[in-house]
Structure 1
């Protein structure tokens, strides 16, 4: 028995797959989530701007702690922007990955 046969034997497939149009309000939910994503991206732009100012101020004033906090804030804001921008692609990738085991 190969790995795929073991997976079929051990795991029960209930046959549930995502389907559009099953419940009312799906388009409204998509709009709400898209708006939340947009607000998040706008907040990240603000956080990146503030972090860059703190970084620059810390560097020019000789405050190593402020400089380090600015760098940390800029790195976190960039990571958040990456995740917010790629959220749809990440979910699509992993949901498609789960459907490849047959």
Structure 2
């Protein structure tokens, strides 16, 4: 009975032979173009957020308003982190896709 359970497990874990297919659906170049544009918009938004946050941080610190200065610092960190993640999006997805294909 244990041997038949192991045999079923090995059949369930067999590779079905399916891999990503770039020709399977029409419109893939358009989707890639749209995602590339979203990456660009995201980076532009991060730059705008960084500029606004630095201005708020500087003005609030100059006026002694430490609550707004703290908010400006947080905005700088969030904007920089967002730009880091957007810039590394392809590498992150590629890393985890490679990791997942090795499982």
Report the TM-score, using the length of structure 1 for normalisation: 0.85
| Unpaired stretches in structure 1, ≥5 consecutive residues | 1-6
| Unpaired stretches in structure 2, ≥5 consecutive residues | 1-8
What count of residue pairs does the alignment treat as equivalent? 95
Instruction: Give the RMSD, CA atoms, in angstroms.
Output: 1.7
Query: Deviation digits for residues 36-91 of structure 1, max 9, x if unmatched?
Result: 11001001100000000000011100000010000000000000000000001000
Structure 1 residues 1-102: aligned runs within 5 Å: 11=13, 13-101=15-103
Structure 1: distance between partners of 2:62 and 2:11: 65
State the 1:15 CA deviation.
2.9
Runs of 4+ in 1 over 4 A off after TM superposition: 7-10
SS in 2 for 1:31: helix
